Amino acid sequence: MCGIIGYKGEENAKEKIAEGLKKLEYRGYDSAGAAILANPSIKVEKAEGSVENLSHNFNGKAGIGHTRWATHGGVNKANAHPHTDTEGKIAVAHNGIIENHSELREKLGEEKFESETDTEVIPHLLKKKLSEKKLEKALKETLSELKGSYAVTGLIESGEMIAFRKDSPLVIGVKENSFFVASDVMPFLEDTNKAIFLKDEDYAVIRDGELKIFNSGKQVNRQIEEIDWDAGQACKNGFEHFMKKEIHEQPETVKRAVFQDRSDIEEASKMIKDAKKVYLTGCGTASYAAMLGAKYLRSQGIEAYAEQSHEFEYMASHIDKDDLVIAVSQSGETADLLSALKKTDCPVLSVTNVVGSTLARNSDKTLYINAGPEIGVASTKAFTAQLTVLKLLSYAVAGEISKGRSSLLETAEKLEEVIKTNERELEKISDYLLEKDQCFFIGRNKGRELASEAALKLKELSYIHAEAFPGGEFKHGTLSLIEEGVPVFVFMLDDETNSLSNAVEAYSRGAELIGCGLTRQDVFKYFIQVPEDDNREILEIVPFQILAYETSLKKGNNPDKPRNLAKSVTVK
């Protein structure tokens, strides 16, 4: 959801910005832009679409860049960041939303605005303050007037680079006398693994070789942390797309998710057992992991519920301080989730991937899924790793951590085989789907969340309309959409008999059935085969990730960058 990058240091900034933007493009690809402090003035370049459309002609030792996922203002060059003040002496790149931008625009009436964005008020406002005050004071006052969420990096013609944040992620990479400012660690990992995660309402000023961080007018010390992801993990490693690489990493990432520190799992399991009720929440793919997590915990006698975070907000007032919220999120930056958590005052246990993320820093306890960077916009390896950690937790609640570990490791061992066994069938199914403009997914109990996740993957990547239903619900209305040749995917995971009956109800009305499970039935046109396993839901989703990927490719889409979407949804 918009990526920002800044560099000020000893090397040419244009290369750092160009490389950094490529690593951030998964956060938005509506437009891109860069600004370089090319002494004596700031030079700005913008382009619609991909970061590849920028030519990076200017040289300098400081620069900023932006890749946009549009919120305010259409997708065009004028709305691309960086935005500047009227004289072009300040340039900023922003991720987030300035809620009071209309009010501020009015107040700044005499200034010349060139875009429809909320962001453009920032350089104008800062410029106004700077005409009367020193930079640090001007920044403090600017922040106090901005309402909403923001992560901003900027350049001042006098030579400084600035950074500030509230409710949007921002991290500073430190390499001796050079500094990076970025939405996440990815763009600077090749240069340094030392990072400072700015706290809410921190603002930073970088002058030659020196970084100073402030909060509420006072200089503060923020710890430098070492990130144990290596830059290689953020490369495609010979795969055509990140998504394909991430799908094929799963035999490894499921194992890494299993290897939680025993004391961490025990502590988390104690939090669950001590809670009156447990609520799990997340968005999109992570919400389906949360729903499955609630089912795992219920099977161990825990009173557990799940709700998607944007709806969770509305039930938050019923949550007691003796309850527990389990927050599931790959990025740990999803605004809907973070906002929902602010409405509760009970402990939070988070299950996340990104070390140092806002979620991790604001939780009472964090279990990392250890999946390594997930760059494909569609979540794949994070989902199976989230399920692994949640399942392990349910084993821990039953006092069976070792049993859980061996069982999940056995599952990881079977993933490779599931991918290989189904390769040819998936090829055929993806060809078949090219002729279709809608399809349905059904399943019962755990199969219900698999149906939802499989439908989400297919629609977000192939743009084929795909809907998921609990198998039993189909006949209560949606069955009327079934006509000759409509594909219905059925997960034969839990309650096989009734799952099959629900599928046959559609088949009798002309649907073509694609089954997934242990045994092929005559009514299935195609069949995805998985072996018997205690954690079969982790195995069953993987072929559907491949199906979505293959169908997307055959339709000429870019599976790493589905239209209208971006990774890390940092706006509500």
Pairing of strands 278-282, 304-308: parallel
Q: Does position 283 bind ligand F6R by CB under 6 A?
A: yes
Q: Does position 502 bind ligand F6R by CB under 6 A?
A: no
Cβ 421 to ligand F6R, closest distance in Å?
Answer: 24
Q: Does position 42 bind ligand F6R by CB under 6 A?
A: no
Q: Does position 253 bind ligand F6R by CB under 6 A?
A: no
Cβ 285 to ligand F6R, closest distance in Å?
Answer: 3
Which of 71, 115, 334, 502 touches ligand F6R (CB under 6 A)? 334
Which of 192, 331, 499, 535 touches ligand F6R (CB under 6 A)? 331
Residue listed under structure tokens 């590849």:
52
* Candidates 65-73, 190-198, 272-280, 283-291; binding stretch for ligand F6R (CB under 6 A): 283-291
Cβ 117 to ligand F6R, closest distance in Å?
Answer: 23
Which of 193, 330, 394, 551 touches ligand F6R (CB under 6 A)? 330
Residue type, 164: F
Is 342 within 8 Å of 281 (Cβ atoms)?
no
Cβ 37 to ligand F6R, closest distance in Å?
Answer: 33
Q: Locate all alpha helices (DSSP H) within 347-481, ordered by sequence.
A: 358-361, 381-397, 401-433, 446-462
Pairing of strands 148-156, 62-68: unpaired
Calculate Rg over the CA atoms of the chain.
25
In sequence order, what DSSP letters do the residues of 291-312 get, joined into one string?
HHHHHHHHTTT--EEEEEHHHH
Residue of 329, 307, 320, 311 lying closest to 277 (CA atoms):
320
* Candidates 179-187, 199-207, 210-218, 277-285; binding stretch for ligand F6R (CB under 6 A): 277-285
Nearest-angstrom CA–CA distance, 2 and 254: 29
By residue count, the chain amounts to 572
Q: Does position 286 bind ligand F6R by CB under 6 A?
A: yes
Residue 375 Cα distances to 16, 241, 421, 560, angstroms: 19, 10, 26, 8
* Strand, helix or coil for residue 393: helix
Which of 33, 169, 284, 559 touches ligand F6R (CB under 6 A)? 284
Beta bridge partners of 34: 45, 65
Nearest-angstrom CA–CA distance, 159 and 496: 67
Q: Does position 285 bind ligand F6R by CB under 6 A?
A: yes
Cβ 167 to ligand F6R, closest distance in Å?
Answer: 15
Residue of 487, 495, 449, 456 lying closest to 470 (CA atoms):
449
- Mark 367-396 with x for binding to ligand F6R (rule: CB under 6 A) and - for no binding: -----------xx-----------------
The question of whether 346 is a catalytic residue gets the answer no
Beta bridge partners of 322: none
Q: What is the DSSP code (8-state) at residue 464?
A: -
Q: Does position 250 bind ligand F6R by CB under 6 A?
A: no
Catalytic residue among 16, 23, 567, 572: 567
* Candidates 187-195, 281-289, 419-427, 470-478; binding stretch for ligand F6R (CB under 6 A): 281-289
* Candidates 67-75, 225-233, 326-334, 491-499; binding stretch for ligand F6R (CB under 6 A): 326-334
The question of whether 16 is a catalytic residue gets the answer no
Query: Hey, how many other C-beta atoms are within 10 angstroms of the C-beta on 273?
Result: 15
Give the DSSP H/E element, type plus range, for residue 21: helix 13-24
The CB-nearest residue to ligand F6R is: 284
Q: Which is nearer to ligand F6R, 67 or 350 (CB)?
A: 350
Q: Does position 3 bind ligand F6R by CB under 6 A?
A: no
Cβ 360 to ligand F6R, closest distance in Å?
Answer: 12
Cβ 165 to ligand F6R, closest distance in Å?
Answer: 18
Nearest-angstrom CA–CA distance, 89 and 158: 8
Question: Which residues contact ligand F6R (rule: CB under 6 A)?
Answer: 282-286, 329-331, 334, 337, 378-379, 456, 460, 568-569
